[in-house]
Amino acid sequence: MTAVDEIRNIAGAIPDPEMPALTIADLGILRDVRVDASGHVDVDITPTYSGCPALDTIREDVERCVRDQGYTDVTVRIVLSPAWTTEWMSEAGRVKLREYGIAPPRQHGFDLTLLTIAVQCPRCDSSRTHELAHFGSTQCQAVRQCDACGETFPHFKEH
């Protein structure tokens, strides 16, 4: 395993502070890892939102975890362009969100009809849901309610 692969695995396994069921690799915010000839490590991350309140914590966690593995010269860069999109989220991340009780973002390229833009309830799988609040516990989530089972649930919005 190369140093880049090792560092990518170390950093990628760090849980998201707001949704600890997901890692930063699951979310797709771990963008790039580089190691130069002198051993300097650069890790690029892109936040889900430019004003993400967890960004400093994620940056500090990446620096600490990589340093703990013996890479002492580490820089974590915040890369805002191109902007993060839910398309970067892994399929495993989408499954973990659903298991955590959060409706995952829909895949891009969906047909804009009522049937395909429906958000499925993560508890009963019904597509008969409606939005209660555009913002939930984090900026990237909305609050929805299922018309079939009556449960309220968060939805990780696509963007």
User: What was the pLDDT predicted at 108?
Assistant: 61
> Is there a domain that residue 118 lies in?
yes
> Is there a domain that residue 53 lies in?
yes
Give 141's DSSP letter: E
Cα Dmax for the chain: 59
Closest CA to 24 of 37, 4, 43: 43
Task: Give yes or no: residues 63 and 117 share one domain.
Answer: no
Q: What is the mean pLDDT of residues 137-154?
A: 90
> Is there a domain that residue 94 lies in?
no
Hey, how many other C-beta atoms are within 10 angstroms of the C-beta on 132?
Answer: 12
- The Cα 132–Cα 130 span in angstroms is 6
Task: Give yes or no: residues 9 and 72 share one domain.
Answer: yes
CATH number, domain containing residue 28: 3.30.300.130
Q: Which of 84, 111, 145 is the last residue of a domain?
A: 84
- The Cα 39–Cα 86 span in angstroms is 32
Contacts of 148 (CB under 8 A, 6+ apart): 121, 124, 126, 128
Q: What is the pLDDT of residues 73-125, one digit of tens each?
A: 999 999 999 999 999 999 999 999 999 899 998 776 555 444 446 888 999 99
Average pLDDT across the chain, whole number: 90
Q: Number of structural domains, the chain? A: 2
Q: What is the pLDDT of residues 40-81, one digit of tens each?
A: 999 999 998 888 888 999 999 999 999 999 999 999 999 999
> Is there a domain that residue 90 lies in?
no
Could you tell me the residue range of the domain that residue 141 belongs to? 99-156
> Is there a domain that residue 93 lies in?
no
